[in-house]
Chains A and B, each alone.
Chain A
Amino acid sequence: MHDRDTGGNGAYGSIPRKEDARFVRGQGTFVDDITLPGMLHGAILRSPVAHARILSVDASAALAHPRVEAVLTGADLAERGLAWMPTLSADVQAVLATDKVRFQGQEIAFVVAQDRYAARDALELIAVDYEMLPPVIDARKALDPDAPVVRDDLVRDDVVRDDVPARARNHIFDWSAGDKAAADAVFAAAAVTVSCDMVYPRSHPAPLETCGIVADHNAVTGQLTLWSTSQAPHAHRTLYAMVTGLPEHKIRIVSPDLGGGFGNKVPLYPGYLCAVAASMVTGRPVKWVEDRSENLMSTTFARDYHMHGEIAATADGRILALRARVLADHGAFNATAQPAKFPAGFFHIFTGSYDLEAAFCEVTGVYTNKAPGGVSYSCSFRITEAVYLVERLTDMLARELGIDPAELRMRNLLRPEQFPYTCPTGWQYDSGDYPRALKLALDIAGYDDLRREQAERRARGEYMGIGISFFTEGVGAGPRSHMDILGLGMADGADLRVHPTGKAVLAISVQTQGQGHETTFAQIVAHELGLTPDDVEVVHGDTDRTPFGLGTYGSRSTPVSGAAAVMAARKVRDRARLVAAAMLELSADDLEWLDGKWRVRGDPDQAAGIAEIAMAAHSSLELPEGVEGHLDASAVYNPPNLTFPFGAYICVTDVDPATGEVKVRRFIAVDDCGVRINPMIVEGQVHRGLADGIGMALMQAIAFDEAGNCLGGSFMDYLLPTAMECPSPELGTTVTPSPHHPIGAKGVGESATVGSPAAVVNSVVDALAPLGVVHADMPLTPANVWLAIQGRPVRADLAVS
């Protein structure tokens, strides 16, 4: 049921953001800005090696440092039952290592000192004795019979049993979706099949603000207050209660301004728990904020999918089926953050945007001696990997068939009349007009002119590429019946209160990290209630002041929390109707909502707006039976389905084959995220995702050498795109509302990150087609491009040699 606004756009539109007032003055409050009286500073000693037994940890010299107040080791935490914590994927993760270290950068000890410089100095005073163990670095060897065992802690009786199959030792899960028999049958009979091995390398969201916390435990009141970089403050609160045993109503999480999240700030990290424990031990607030190297080396990475994909088609270019087999490197602990029933997230949306007869995918997850994670970086729970796979395969099929890639897509895209469409792996896409979006992108790009230009340049020995990516996203997790994280259903609440003078406060459970919720959610409420966005204050991030919800990631804020806000606003509006009827001494049926007010049918000038109604609701006005005073409402929204934004992207690159350098000349992006509350903010999200695509396609990857040393532990090695690499994007929009969302909105935060990498890679491979390049893995650094041209591609997950 959705209600379109009556009378123009109401409060929707590209209004400037309310939150900017503090940020342009440098008055944001980020976790490291927070100072409390008596506050101490924590620093973490991390393992320099990837796999080793810990023989001893001697912190005596550190404790003797005059500015050190405490040192926690794994043994100290073990005494309190805090040495291990649950992950979001039903695994456990070491908070401070006790028996072994299992990845380079793993937490060993936590120093608490009077200032951050002393804390850093004291790290060097802790002596750790390691017994080196051979590491598992190559995910493709993790299941070998003689592979070292990463998680001997999971093996029963603390003994690595010889009769446990080696395959089981580093094995996390097998998971599949689709109909194998049907897919196999289609493939067997298909006229054309194309297959490819492709790696989506390990990358990292790298928000500009690293993760951190100020933990303040008051032993007298029993209150634990945490200022923390958290995209999901309520879920964190529940987790802290479960892990520490502290009663949940005594825990308050304040997630202040966040300097970006992108999924990096969803999990609980050992550093947070150390800070909590340290505050309990010292009786003082403890701040811990990680370095950039800690962020890159130990917090949740993204991707690291080794994929084998196959596409089957008829000779005249009708795509019939897709198959995929994936090896997922989860690192040393399975700490991915996705709904519990989906160990490979939503990867099975790899069916893409085409009308397939059959599809089947299987994913195997393994442990390696690397940092834990995988679901992160605007991946929409693995949809980045899925879209990359299907769009690369589609381009390869086009090449194989000699059909233009735009033409091939246009022939195979789902048609509007096919929606709602259930794909072969069970997703029900809610709405879409795919051909219209692709056509718009082609028009903006001047596609035919580009192909002509490409032909001319090729004749001159210049290499220009045009790459297309058409993606279907699934966001807004999700229906609680089958989507939960650690048993917490993914429904979100909203509390709306209208004050007597007609100003409103909306408390929501999601947590912006820059997406502009203070503005867009104000617009939502304003739109429903005939107010202006300035009349609506959005409260978020403080678990004491907001209703429960699972937080912001997976582009779920607008689809889920936005819907909750709409529902709460409509409840307020409905109650306002009853109050208005009492004010006007009419029956509620005599009133209709028109142009932002309850108006008398047939006599619209007789009206009451929310402001006057609010005053009346707080006054001595006699209200009808059963109608409570004041003007507020709550709602918890359980989404009936995901929403399915989609888009068509076109990337134009110029490649210098002699040096391997790639220049992104143009990036065209047509996005459809349903109804757009604030187009300016939507476009900002798209701009960012396109930059992500350029970064991942051309420069971002974290590799490891044979010893397990992380080769992407700083911004000197893990390269992020600058303004020089990103052209001015050319955007277009179509609007296909979601039929099940109360305002038809779909969510957009991750769309461009999902859709863009394939467009860039398709473009570069297209440029190099005359040189015989059929596929090349990301990142397409100059060296990797040159090697691909030489026919000697390398693996991006391992060290260059």
Chain B
Amino acid sequence: MQVPAQVEYEKAVSVEHALALLARYGPGARILAGGHSLIPMMKLRLLQPEVLIDINGITDLCYINLAGALLQIGTLTRHAQLLDSALARAHFAILHDAERVIADPIVRNWGTVGGSLCQADPSEDLSAAFAAMKGTMVIHGPDGSREVSAREFHTGPYETVVGPSELLTEIRLPIRPGGGSGYQKVSRRAGDWPIGAAGAAVWLDGDTITDAGIGLTAVGATHFAAAEAEEYLRGRDAGDDTLRRAGEIAAEHCRPVSDQRGPADYKRHLARELTTRVLRLAVSRARGALS
């Protein structure tokens, strides 16, 4: 088995301590949470940090809370905890759907929500889910904390706005009543990265879509979102023709890349098909929520 290069190691006992260590060691330091994105890269020597700052002891960062009209998820929350959270599922079926198909049950036990988001893989399911829900990322740094929209969090493949001396601490999702959400993914095998995946949330007033959120991953959607398709949906009926047209628009605005998972035209097709399907799911759940 391949093994990492030499690295130094520090254990952070609090957020402040982690930030101090980041400041001390500079850009050669990496935050180590579950390690299930970072350590595989280190083993293949695609990444060779100088120092690892282990934050697994900062149990304060592990929570799923309701705070008014917000669901707050601490970034050290393990995928398995988010999957098992009845609270999260009650308000955001999309999160439960997505976690169900992220990696595998054993990886989910230790990999963290924050770790996956910060790894920023262009095929990351949670990136699409949080984009669909228009989440907010809370980032702590030496000068305090700042908030960044989930749709501005990623700056490119494997790149986020989190600076070398900053730490992503929380994701906030606004809870709005009357919505329904869902997530659907196509992959070559259980546990594999998506070939394409879509998450959506819709809010209905009768048969009219008052608002929608659509997230896409692995298909080169800008900021993991389908903003144009969302715009199209607002104010329209929730009929199947509308949903299919939204899928087409979402697909038009993707820039998928051909790789061994599939050629670009197939991925674009998947973007359309999955957007349509997940919108149908979200609509039916929204209708269920209202009835």
B191 with A722: CB separation less than 8 A: yes
Partner of A781, one of B45, B188, B258, B274: B188
B2 with A787: CB separation less than 8 A: no
In the complex, the chain B residue whose C-beta lies closest to that of A117 is B3
- Name, among B187, B259, B266, B273, the residue most crowded by chain A CB atoms within 10 Å (CB to CB): B266
**A783-B263, A786-B266, A801-B258 known; A291 vs B189 contact (CB < 8 Å):** no
**A724-B190, A782-B188 known; A291 vs B258 contact (CB < 8 Å):** no
Partner of B263, one of A293, A659, A703, A801: A801
Q: Give the dominant DSSP class at A's interface.
A: loop
Contacts of A703 in B (CB 8 A): 260
Contacts of A721 in B (CB 8 A): 189
B262 with A781: CB separation less than 8 A: yes
Partner of A722, one of B186, B189, B269: B189
A291 with B195: CB separation less than 8 A: no
| B90 touches A (CB below 8 Å) | no
B263 with A800: CB separation less than 8 A: yes
Contacts of A781 in B (CB 8 A): 188, 261-262
A800 with B262: CB separation less than 8 A: yes
- Name, among B3, B5, B45, B260, the residue most crowded by chain A CB atoms within 10 Å (CB to CB): B260
Contacts of A121 in B (CB 8 A): 5-6
- In the assembled complex, the CB of B49 is this many whole angstroms from the nearest CB of chain A, namely 16
Q: Give the dominant DSSP class at B's interface.
A: loop
In the complex, the chain A residue whose C-beta lies closest to that of B266 is A783
Q: What CA separation (Å) do A439 and B266 show in the bound complex?
A: 41
| B192 touches A (CB below 8 Å) | yes
Contacts of A787 in B (CB 8 A): 263, 266
Contacts of A725 in B (CB 8 A): 189-190
Partner of A800, one of B186, B258, B274: B258
- In the assembled complex, the CB of A208 is this many whole angstroms from the nearest CB of chain B, namely 12
Size range of the chain A interface in the assembly: 20 to 34
- Name, among B5, B186, B193, B258, the residue most crowded by chain A CB atoms within 10 Å (CB to CB): B186
| B270 touches A (CB below 8 Å) | yes
In the complex, the chain A residue whose C-beta lies closest to that of B184 is A659
Partner of B260, one of A117, A658, A800: A800
Contacts of A658 in B (CB 8 A): 273
Number of chain B residues close to chain A: CB under 8 A? 27
Contacts of A783 in B (CB 8 A): 195, 261-263, 266
CB-defined interface of B233-260 with A at 8 Å, one 1/0 digit per residue? Answer: 0000000000000000000000000111
A292 with B273: CB separation less than 8 A: no
In the complex, the chain A residue whose C-beta lies closest to that of B2 is A291
Partner of B262, one of A716, A717, A782: A782
In the complex, the chain A residue whose C-beta lies closest to that of B276 is A658
CB-defined interface of A785-801 with B at 8 Å, one 1/0 digit per residue? Answer: 01100000010000111
B188 with A116: CB separation less than 8 A: no
Contacts of B67 in A (CB 8 A): none
Contacts of B190 in A (CB 8 A): 722, 724-725
Q: What CA separation (Å) do A120 and B3 show in the bound complex?
A: 7
A293 with B2: CB separation less than 8 A: yes
Q: What CA separation (Å) do A121 and B43 show in the bound complex?
A: 11
- In the assembled complex, the CB of A797 is this many whole angstroms from the nearest CB of chain B, namely 12
- In the assembled complex, the CB of B71 is this many whole angstroms from the nearest CB of chain A, namely 29
- Name, among A117, A783, A794, the residue most crowded by chain B CB atoms within 10 Å (CB to CB): A783
**A719-B192, A783-B261, A786-B266 known; A291 vs B1 contact (CB < 8 Å):** yes
Interface residues of B in 160-195 (CB under 8 A from A): 186-193, 195
CB-defined interface of B90-127 with A at 8 Å, one 1/0 digit per residue? Answer: 00000000000000100000000000000000000000
| A280 touches B (CB below 8 Å) | no
| A699 touches B (CB below 8 Å) | yes
A120 with B2: CB separation less than 8 A: yes
B270 with A659: CB separation less than 8 A: yes
Interface residues of B in 184-211 (CB under 8 A from A): 186-193, 195
Contacts of A724 in B (CB 8 A): 189-191
In the complex, the chain A residue whose C-beta lies closest to that of B192 is A719
- In the assembled complex, the CB of B163 is this many whole angstroms from the nearest CB of chain A, namely 29
A699 with B2: CB separation less than 8 A: no
Q: What CA separation (Å) do A381 and B87 show in the bound complex?
A: 56
Interface residues of A in 631-674 (CB under 8 A from B): 658-661
Q: What CA separation (Å) do A84 and B45 show in the bound complex?
A: 31
User: Footprint of B on A, CB under 8 Å?
Assistant: 116-117, 120-121, 124, 291-293, 658-661, 698-699, 703, 711, 716-717, 719, 721-722, 724-725, 781-783, 786-787, 794, 799-801
Besides A659-B270, A725-B189, A787-B266, 7 new A-B residue pairs in contact (Cβ under 8 A), listed by A number: A699-B189, A711-B260, A724-B189, A782-B195, A800-B259, A801-B258, A801-B263
List 16 interface pairs A-B (beta carbons < 8 Å), by A numbering.
A293-B2, A659-B186, A660-B186, A699-B189, A711-B260, A716-B193, A717-B260, A724-B189, A725-B189, A781-B188, A782-B266, A783-B195, A786-B262, A787-B266, A794-B263, A801-B258
